[in-house]
Structure 1
Amino acid sequence: MTELREVVVCSPLRTPVGRMGGALATVPALELATTVLTALLDRTGVDPAAIDAVIAAQGYPTMEAPAIGRVAALDAGFGVATTGYQLDRRCGSGLQAVLNAAMEVQTGVADAVIALGVESMSNAPLYTVEGRRDVSGAGLLLRDALSRGRETVGGRRFPTPEGNVGSAELLRAEYGISREAQDALALRSHRRAVAAQDSGAFDAELVPVEVPGRRGSMLVDRDEHPRADTSLAALGGLRPILGRSDAEATVTAGNSSGQNDAAAACIVTTPQRAAELGLVPMLRLVSWAVAGNDPLRFGVAPVPAAHLALDRAGIGFDDLDLIELNEAFAVQVLACLADWGVDAEDPRVNPRGSGISIGHPIGATGIRMLATLAHGLPALDGSLALETMCIGGGQALAAVFARV
């Protein structure tokens, strides 16, 4: 077997993250994707012909851009020889795109691949599965892709009728995590994200998006989801989502991740090819792992995934300088940290915020996190980082990166 080649990540960039129905709501996923791809070419000066493929992650696609990696590449000015496709591992899709790109480069199938993640949850489709058959007098039933996907992600044998929120409440009961602890983590996340915004810490990773409007175009250059005005009192005043059916419920919109719009991308290649293309690597992929568990306990799937990735790297949690653990729910983060033996206020964990504050545009999140991680490690004078996230349906991804 041919020895696997070393893989590095170059120039991870992302658009600002928009709120559901917010500043980026009128921008289709394809436009977000082409915007970040075009910026990646402009900032690196890489010849599009040097890119072998664009691997794109998207959780809520439409047929406006089938196999969106290919369509976005064509629209962004790549030649017809640059291939592309689309994948879906739900919340882990963006990171999976990076890992798929890495495997192609490691094995010599490709020399330089762009990993792309994109989601416009504001434009997630409403769909019908009866439309090609006889329509009854009641008409067609339209399903909301966002809510339906959370109900069906466990298949017939592992139903999740209350979606991801029900799974989060299960962890709350199992781990005995209080509402107060969840809201405290949510507040900490917002404060860290707002501080990063105000200090300009996100500037190097951001790509502005031009949004056309009736009165002219507007440039969106700042994450929309972090709230500078939130407080424990404001968070405490929100009603639990499942409060009507569960008197013990604690999960609210305030201590959960957002539904968001964004795109992110990076170049995955070898150190040698990076030098030839004039690229400056930021990260080296050290190891990665995927793990599965009961769909109703998907929130703690990062626990075994992280242990596997760290074991394969020959390191432990004490060796890490940065831990990027996506905040699907505050309760899920707290449960994972408890199992790892990491303090909830450990400054290494999401120092610039995460899903609760920055937002969680499903397909883009993994690469958004990677961009924040890549730019955050030097600021901490760190060398090793872990990126991990839970995945609806009972999976998790984890990857260890080293600063180059």
Structure 2
Amino acid sequence: MTELREVVVCAPLRTPVGRLGGALAPLDARALAVAVLRALLDRTGLDPAAVDSVVAAQGYPTMESPALGRVAALDAGFPITTTGYQLDRRCGSGLQAVLNAAMEVQTGVADVVVALGVESMSNAPLYTEQGRRGVPPGGLLLHDALARGRETVGGTRYPTPDGNVGTAETLRAEYGIGRREQDALALRSHQRAVAAQASGAFDAEIVPVEVPGRRGSVVVDRDEHPRPDSTLDALAALRPVLLATDPDATVTAGNSSGQNDAAAACVVTTPDHALRLGLTPMLRLRSWAAAGVDPRRFGIAPVPATHLALARAGVALADVDVLELNEAFAVQVLACLADWRIDPEDPRVNPRGSGISLGHPIGATGIRMLATLAHELPALDGTLAVETMCIGGGQALAAVFERA
């Protein structure tokens, strides 16, 4: 068997993260994808003909851009020889795109692959499966893809009728995590993200996006989701989503991740090819792992996934300088940290905020996190980082990266 080649990540970039219905809403997923791909070529000087494939992640696709990696590559000016496809592992999709690209490079199937993650939750489709059989009595039922995906992700054997919020409340009851703890974590997330914005910490990873409008184009160059005005009192005033059916409910819009629009991309290749192409490696992939748990408590899945990834890398959590744990819900983060025996205020955990403050554009989040940690490591003079996230349906991914 051929020995696996070393893999490095170069030029991880992202668009700003837009709010649902916000500044990026006029752009569909393809437009966001094309914007970040063009920016990647501009910033690196990479010859698009050198790219073997574009692996794209998207959680809420339509048939406007089938096999999004291919369509976006063509629209961004890549040659017809550049292949592409799309994948969906829900919240882990972006990181999975990087890992798929890495496996292609490791095995020699490809030399240079672009991993792409994108989501326009503002344009997630409303759909029906009934129209081809005629219009039933009462008319056609339209499903909201955003809500429906959360209700069906456990299949018929592991139903999640209350969506991901219901599973978060399950962890709240299991771990005895109070509302105030959750709101405190949410506030800390916003404070860290706002501080990073103010210091210019995100500038190197963000590419501005031009958004057309009736009064002319507007350039968006700043994340919309962080709230500088957030306070514990404001968070405490929000009503729990499931309060009507659960008097002990604690999960609110304020201590949960956002629904957002963004795209992110990076180049995955070998050190030798990076040198030949004039690319500067930022990260080396040390190991990765996936784990599965009961879909009804999916938020805890980063614990086994991270343990396995760390074991494969031969390191421990104590060796990690940055732990990027996506904030799907504050309660889910707190449950994972409790199992790891890590203080919620540990400065290694999401130093510049995460899903609650920066937002969670499903398909893009994994590469957004990668872009952030790639710049955090040198800023903090760190060496090792872990990226991990829970995944609706009872999965998680974790990857160990080393500063290149």
TM-score, normalised with respect to structure 1: 1.00
Query: Which residue of the partner structure matches residue 183 of structure 1?
Result: 183
Query: Which residue of the partner structure matches residue 196 of structure 2?
Result: 196
Q: Shift in Å at residue 3 of structure 1?
A: 0.2
Query: Which residue of the partner structure matches residue 94 of structure 1?
Result: 94
Q: Whole-Å Cα distance in 2 between the matches of residues 198 and 210 of structure 1?
A: 22
Q: Whole-Å Cα distance in 2 between the matches of residues 341 and 14 of structure 1?
A: 32
RMSD between aligned residues: 0.4
What are the superposed Cα offsets for residues 68-109 of structure 1, whole Å, 9 maximum, x if unpaired? 000000000000000000000000000000000000000000
Q: Tell me the amino acid that sits aligned with residue 264 of structure 2.
A: A
Instruction: Confirm or deny that 1:12 pairs with 2:12.
Output: yes
SS in structure 2 at match of 1:91: coil
Query: Which residue of the partner structure matches residue 292 of structure 1?
Result: 292
Q: Whole-Å Cα distance in 2 between the matches of residues 87 and 288 of structure 1?
A: 18
Q: Whole-Å Cα distance in 1 between the matches of residues 26 and 46 of structure 2?
A: 30
5+ residue gaps, structure 1, are none
Query: Which residue of the partner structure matches residue 386 of structure 2?
Result: 386
Instruction: Confirm or deny that 1:401 pairs with 2:401.
Output: yes
Query: Which residue of the partner structure matches residue 154 of structure 2?
Result: 154
SS in structure 2 at match of 1:357: helix
Q: Shift in Å at residue 112 of structure 1?
A: 0.3
SS in structure 1 at match of 2:398: strand
Query: Which residue of the partner structure matches residue 316 of structure 2?
Result: 316
Alignment of 1:80-229 (within 5 A): 80-229=80-229
Q: Whole-Å Cα distance in 2 between the matches of residues 136 and 369 of structure 1?
A: 45
Q: Shift in Å at residue 137 of structure 1?
A: 3.6
SS in structure 2 at match of 1:204: coil
Q: Whole-Å Cα distance in 2 between the matches of residues 134 and 274 of structure 1?
A: 55
Query: Which residue of the partner structure matches residue 377 of structure 2?
Result: 377
Alignment of 1:32-43 (within 5 A): 32-43=32-43
What are the superposed Cα offsets for residues 248-270 of structure 1, whole Å, 9 maximum, x if unpaired? 00000000000000000000000
How many residue pairs match? The answer is 404
Q: Whole-Å Cα distance in 1 between the matches of residues 137 and 95 of structure 2?
A: 45
Q: Tell me the amino acid that sits aligned with residue 51 of structure 1.
A: V
Alignment of 1:300-339 (within 5 A): 300-339=300-339
Q: Whole-Å Cα distance in 2 between the matches of residues 137 and 288 of structure 1?
A: 50
Paired-residue identity, %: 79
Query: Which residue of the partner structure matches residue 253 of structure 2?
Result: 253
Q: Shift in Å at residue 134 of structure 1?
A: 1.8
Q: Whole-Å Cα distance in 2 between the matches of residues 19 and 332 of structure 1?
A: 22
What are the superposed Cα offsets for residues 307-359 of structure 1, whole Å, 9 maximum, x if unpaired? 00000001101100000000000000000000011111000000000000000
Query: Which residue of the partner structure matches residue 44 of structure 2?
Result: 44
Q: Tell me the amino acid that sits aligned with residue 168 of structure 2.
A: A
Query: Which residue of the partner structure matches residue 263 of structure 1?
Result: 263
Q: Shift in Å at residue 246 of structure 1?
A: 0.3
What are the superposed Cα offsets for residues 93-149 of structure 1, whole Å, 9 maximum, x if unpaired? 000000000000000000000000000000000000001002124111100000000
Q: Whole-Å Cα distance in 2 between the matches of residues 94 and 317 of structure 1?
A: 23
Q: Tell me the amino acid that sits aligned with residue 242 of structure 2.
A: L
Query: Which residue of the partner structure matches residue 22 of structure 1?
Result: 22
Q: Whole-Å Cα distance in 2 between the matches of residues 326 and 137 of structure 1?
A: 44
Query: Which residue of the partner structure matches residue 60 of structure 1?
Result: 60
Q: Whole-Å Cα distance in 2 between the matches of residues 177 and 139 of structure 1?
A: 44
Q: Whole-Å Cα distance in 2 between the matches of residues 272 and 222 of structure 1?
A: 34
Q: Shift in Å at residue 377 of structure 1?
A: 0.4
What are the superposed Cα offsets for residues 185-226 of structure 1, whole Å, 9 maximum, x if unpaired? 000000000000000000000011111111111110000000
Q: Whole-Å Cα distance in 2 between the matches of residues 358 and 339 of structure 1?
A: 25
Q: Tell me the amino acid that sits aligned with residue 20 of structure 1.
A: L
Q: Whole-Å Cα distance in 2 between the matches of residues 134 and 391 of structure 1?
A: 36
SS in structure 2 at match of 1:203: coil
Q: Whole-Å Cα distance in 1 between the matches of residues 264 and 401 of structure 2?
A: 18
Q: Whole-Å Cα distance in 1 between the matches of residues 230 and 315 of structure 2?
A: 37
Q: Tell me the amino acid that sits aligned with residue 288 of structure 1.
A: W
Q: Whole-Å Cα distance in 2 between the matches of residues 344 and 376 of structure 1?
A: 19
Q: Whole-Å Cα distance in 1 between the matches of residues 292 and 150 of structure 2?
A: 17
After TM superposition, which residue ranges in structure 1, 4 or more long, deviate above 4 angstroms? none
Q: Tell me the amino acid that sits aligned with residue 103 of structure 1.
A: M
TM-score, normalised with respect to structure 2: 1.00
SS in structure 2 at match of 1:77: coil
